[in-house]
Amino acid sequence: MNQSLRRYMASAVAEEVKHEIDRSEEQYGPFHSLHEGLAVLREEYKELEDAIFWGVSKDGDTQRVRDKAIQVAAMATRIVMMVSPVPIDLPNENMK
């Protein structure tokens, strides 16, 4: 995969991860603790693992693997966001 295609795909996947972060926070609210975040991440990881070990090998369905991988990335990103300092120069309109 060339660098241009890799950058395009990374940007497209990042947008999907952002959408999943928004969707999950709207549906379930924010994580109340790092422990809760880890539990949710672990649950999504186990579903990804099942999709890889049992789903793809049975029917070749890579869409489920992709969907679960996006969810794992989104939950991991939510944890990173919890432990990251908010930039002090962030404009107020971005805080909404």
Angle, alpha carbons 62-68-73 (nearest 5°): 125
12 assigned to some structural domain:
no
Per-residue DSSP letter, 74: H
The domain in which residue 48 lies consists of: 32-83
| End-to-end Cα, the chain, rounded Å | 37
51 assigned to some structural domain:
yes
27 assigned to some structural domain:
no
Structure tokens belonging to residue 93: 């309109």
- How many folded domains does the chain comprise? 1
- The pTM assigned to this predicted structure is 0.84
Q: Which amino acid is at 64?
A: R
**Model confidence pLDDT, tens digit, residues 4-40:** 999 999 999 999 999 999 999 999 999 999 999 999 9
